[in-house]
Structure 1
Amino acid sequence: MSDTWRILVVEGNKADRATLTEALARQGHDVGAVNSGGDALASYEAADLVVLDLDLPDLDGLEVCREIRAARDTPVITVTSRGSELDCVLALQAGADDYVVKPYGLRELMARLNAVMRRSRRTACADPGAEGAAVLEHGPLRIDSHSREVEMRGRPVPVTRKEFDLLALLASAPGRVISRESIMHQVWGESWSRRTVDTHVSSLRNKLGGPEWIVTVRGVGFKLRSMR
């Protein structure tokens, strides 16, 4: 019942590249594979989704991700052996929609691919927080649900799909605590983990200019700070 996607695998390790390409092809997808950042930048435009290894022989994978994101909204899932919170935050800040830490299982990767593609295709009609006003303004913070753009004091704030969805959800009820479970299910569906939410919150705080914008309510969840 799964759709067929054009997936570009960017993987510097020959064995990993062959294994992943074969596994995705068995799922019925049209898979292309390259082993360098330069080849990725030359061929990603034809892909519906990019699986990007961050450890490439020629270019920094984070820079490749930034280049793709600057030009197109093609979904990108990064694959990394760097499993620290900082490394994951850097990947998200570079524009990745999600990340997988090596070694990973195929089921986990496929769940994340499916979740990212579902969010990508329903973005225009089902944005969290879009049931109310198209533009949410909270002090100097402005969130446009139609264009999916965020501004802080008139300056654009680059966010990924999931960061936008998370921020729009919190901004739909500023000052109200939204439970971690509700955030997980509304933004990530069935593919989520506690660490995923925390990593995205950390990334958003950095992009908004400080930790005070998203308040942690210990044992419950998160809220956008009240301006009162």
Structure 2
Amino acid sequence: MCGIGGIVGPGIEGRRQRVAAMMGLLAHRGPDDAGLWEEGEVCLGHQRLAIIDLSPGGHQPMQEGAHVLVYNGEIYNYRELRRELTELGATWRSHSDTEVILKGYRAWGEGLLDKVRGMFALALWDQERRRLWCARDPFGKKPFYYAREGGRLVFASEIEAVVAGLGGRPRLNPEDLAHYLWKGYFPPGRTAYEGIFTLEAGRVLEFTPLKGRLSLRPFSREVFDLGQEGRVSREEA
């Protein structure tokens, strides 16, 4: 379990301090390491619980070229993907699945999501396209909350961290709260607060701060058809 978060978009003072406060609220999710990355209108944060690669090589936010990644989860077939990427010419500085995701995106773009098997919530800043690209696994095992504030996007692994990023607590949403009290769950994508949403399972979120444009869409995946690629070796099991 790790914690991710960030603020993307113009017109805010103390952006780094806000993201640091968000990460402080997520410290219980990742006590092994913490990191912040800032450039222009973007600040990303990560709280790390080291599982696969315990070395400093798995530090996040992780950057390669124009791409910066924060990620929470575990990719079960990362060894297979690592071998495939190595055959494509990739070289490695760590043994982490984080680096596999980062290099996989650089090699395959969004097609990466059709290859990975595991649980994940991630956000990747593309410096060339000036775009934030986020995704959540098909079963929604890892949380991802977000909100709009003016022309900015605030996101995090927990609602309270999003609230801290907004700088003020939004109003409760009585209709969605009533739905929760009646049925035991919130409507898809909704939360107890007005303006704070959860990225639904198997969805991609893209945010372009220059245009203030946010888009949501499902990514294609036959989640129940594991086939040969979905099988793991005795060593991996």
TM-score computed with the length of structure 1 as normaliser = 0.32
Q: Which has the higher helix share?
A: 1
Higher RCO, 1 vs 2 (CA within 8 Å, ≥6 residues apart): 2
TM-score computed with the length of structure 2 as normaliser = 0.31
Q: Which has the higher strand share?
A: 2
